[in-house]
Amino acid sequence: MAIPSAVLAAGWIPFVVVIVLTLLFSAIYIRYYMSKYDSELSTTLATIFALTITLLTSAIVPVDIFLVSYMKTTDGSFKDWANDSASRASIEHSILYGYYTLYALVTFCLFILLPFFYFFYEEKDEATPTSCKSRCCTALKYLIVFILVVATLMLIGAFVPTKGTPNANSTEWKQIEALFKDLASNGLEDSLSFIISVLSLLGMMAFIMYTVRGKKLQNCRLAYPYYLSLRHLEANDRSCIRKCLLVLRPFEMLFGFLFLLVALLIFISLLLTNIDKAMHSKGYKIGYALAQRKLPNPVDIALVFCQMVFPLDYILMSGIIVYFVFCSMSGIRNIGIWFLWIRMYKIRPRRTRPQGLLMLCMILMFIVLAINIIVYELTPQYSTFGSQKYGNMTGGSNTTSTPLHQCTMEVAGEISVVARMALLLTRFFYKMWFFGATYYWGTWVFLGIYVLGFIIAVIKKRKSSIDGEIDEDDFDESDDEDLLRG
């Protein structure tokens, strides 16, 4: 039976809307931080495109979950159009190709697009102008290194031996049979999965470094504009943004409480998931895969419940992702971009240089890839099955007296459908358990550092709104701006 157009429209139209909103958000964000006196159109467009593509890798996850959930009715049986395995496979493949396309574009942006424009801008010399051809040639020379790196990662992912499918009669097969039925994958998929896993691992490090700092800032106070000099204070007092923030000032405590509540729910949910994995997962050799959630998880339960009212779960999931992204942005804004002990770039509204924008975009891309893993850790039931339920083990229609249960990996296949993101992660974590184990322990590190940072924030003496935000070289940069305008 053909897939009804209403099903495809309900799943993909919100995603199209999100694409437009994501593009607008990326453009506004990049424009907000872009220097007014030192910018280049090619760099701006490249960062907007790269940031948009990366954010879409998170935006497609709710579409994936909605489509697999929409295949079943409230009584746990498949809908008429979804009874045909070919129809289900068609939807699954379309989502899978969407993931492959977006992650391939992310790889292209990180290893080709952004490095090229970074070195392209580095060759710009106002004193002795160089031709565009000369700048392109020099940028391509440096780009060879990045091409060799990505080629090496692809070869490693495609040819390095990984854990294969165990014998169907072995004990190990009995352990993983409940997780997924199909271990097959091709070399190209393994290559892309390996590259994204390496990038996500770097993103986890950046996530721990920047997002924890950003969450602490969000919880302690509202993120008001950062003042760089007395002249900037006067300018901010006249700005429209400043006037809007003054209007919102009476609600500062309310917003602060809401931020604290969201952070607390996320912390508790991640903690419970990790404890659940420690107690009931299949162990590190299978990447701490959790066949069934045993402990209650407030965020996971809320999302599963909200999926009954479309598109409430989509909005909540997007809100969680946006919260993580804004915390990460706040952390990067506060810490800056460093190489070891050397500060490379400061991220300041209207004053960030093109190279700083490119580095900012790359760090955000790494972090968003890690956020995709964190979201899976945060909502194991919702991210795997959505609101799917089952009432018997035959796949047929249920009677009203049949009790319904949340779908688990033990009934995956004919009884329920696994979201493609969950399938890709679980399958790869089994084949290369190191990544699954690292993400698991990385989550523990994130939770530990967050608790430590929160305690320090509570007992530490509160600073004024401009204390620590004005660096000595801010005044030097202001002088440079005056020279550029003169």
More confident of the two residues 48 and 471: 48
Res. 396: pLDDT tops 70? no
Instruction: Look at strands 389-390 and 342-345 and give their pairing.
Output: unpaired
Q: What confidence tens digit (pLDDT) does each residue in 231-265 have?
A: 444 444 455 555 665 666 666 667 677 777 888 88
CA-nearest of 463, 219, 209 to 337 is 209
pLDDT at 305: 85
d(Cα 183, Cα 165) in Å, to the nearest integer? 7
C-alpha pair distances (Å), 300 with each of 290, 293, 326, 380: 14, 10, 21, 7
Q: What are phi and psi of 352, to 5 degrees?
A: -85, 130
Using CA atoms, how far apart are residues 202 and 438, in angstroms rounded to an integer?
11
pLDDT grade, residue 224 (50/70/90)? Answer: very low
Region of 356 (left: φ > 0; alpha: ψ -120 to 50; beta: rest) is: alpha
Is the backbone peptide bond immediately before 311 cis, with ω within 30 degrees of 0? yes
Measured distance CA(79)–CA(69) in Å, rounded: 11
In a domain, 397, yes or no: no
d(CA 275, CA 146): 39
Across the range 62-80, mean pLDDT stands at: 82
In whole angstroms, what is the distance from residue 266 CA to residue 260 CA? Answer: 10
The span from the CA of 200 to the CA of 224, in Å, is 30
Domain count, the chain: 1
In whole angstroms, what is the distance from residue 62 CA to residue 175 CA? 29
Confidence of residue 227 (pLDDT cuts 50, 70, 90): very low
Six-digit token pair at 206? 């950046």
Higher-confidence residue of 169 and 149: namely 149
More confident residue, 396 or 267: 267
Instruction: Name the band, by pLDDT with cuts 50, 70 and 90, for residue 52.
Output: very high
Mean pLDDT of all residues in 423-435 = 80
Asked, for residue 455, whether it belongs to a domain, the answer is yes
Q: What is the predicted pLDDT for the residue at 23?
A: 92
Among 197, 202, 192, CA closest to 104? 192
Residues 6+ apart with CB under 8 A from 166: 172, 173, 176
Helices assigned H by DSSP within 307-353: 312-335
Q: What local confidence, expressed as pLDDT, does residue 162 receive?
A: 66
- In a domain, residue 457? The reply is yes
In a domain, 351, yes or no: yes
pLDDT of residue 223: 40
294 and 279 Cβ atoms separated by less than 8 Å: yes
Question: What is the Cα–Cα distance from 134 to 347, expressed in whole angstroms?
Answer: 29
Does the model's pTM come out above 0.85? no
First to last CA, the chain: 70
Q: Mean of the pLDDT values across residues 54-80?
A: 84
Lowest-confidence pick of 16-25, 165-174, 221-230, 461-470: 221-230
Residue 110 lies in a domain: yes
Q: What is the CA radius of gyration of the chain?
A: 24
Please report whether residue 306 resides in a domain. yes
Cα separation of 245 and 358, whole Å? Answer: 29
Find the mean pLDDT for residues 257-280: 86
What is the tens place of the pLDDT at every residue in 303-342? 888 877 777 888 888 888 888 888 888 888 888 787 767 7
pLDDT at position 461: 58
Q: Read off the pLDDT of residues 85-136 as tens digits, 9 standing for 90 and up.
A: 777 788 888 888 889 899 999 999 999 999 998 888 887 765 666 777 888 8
Pick 58 or 392 by higher pLDDT. 58
Distance from C-alpha of 463 to C-alpha of 446, rounded to nearest angstrom: 25
Nearest to 196 by CA among 291, 111, 285: 111
Q: Let me know the angle formed at the C-alpha of 151 by 419 and 137, rounded to the nearest 5 degrees.
A: 120
**Cross-strand pairs, 416:** 412
Q: How many residues does the chain have?
A: 486
Q: Which of 45-59, 161-175, 206-220, 438-452 has the lowest mean pLDDT?
A: 161-175
Task: Answer yes or no: is 399 within a domain.
Answer: no
Q: How confident is the model at residue 48 (pLDDT cuts 50, 70, 90)?
A: very high
- Cis, bond preceding 296 (omega within 30 deg of 0): no
Q: What is the largest CA-CA distance in the chain?
A: 82
Within 10 Å of residue 294's Cβ, how many Cβ atoms? 14
Q: Which amino acid is at 100?
A: Y
Cα–Cα distance, 350 to 373 (Å, whole number): 32
**Domain range spanning residue 75?**
5-163+173-389+404-485
Helix pair angle (212-220, 252-280), 10° resolution? 140
Is it the case that residue 160 has pLDDT exceeding 90?
A: no
pLDDT attached to residue 472: 46
Measured CA to CA, the distance from residue 153 to residue 187 in angstroms comes to: 12
- Give the best-scoring range by mean pLDDT among 66-80, 124-138, 353-367: 353-367
Burial class (CB in 10 A: 0-12, 13-18, 19+), 327: buried
Question: Which token pair is 305?
Answer: 């419940």
Give the count of alpha carbons within 13 A of 247, CB side only.
Answer: 6
- pLDDT attached to residue 177: 57
Distance of alpha carbon 315 from alpha carbon 306, whole angstroms: 10
Check whether 397 has a pLDDT greater than 60.
no
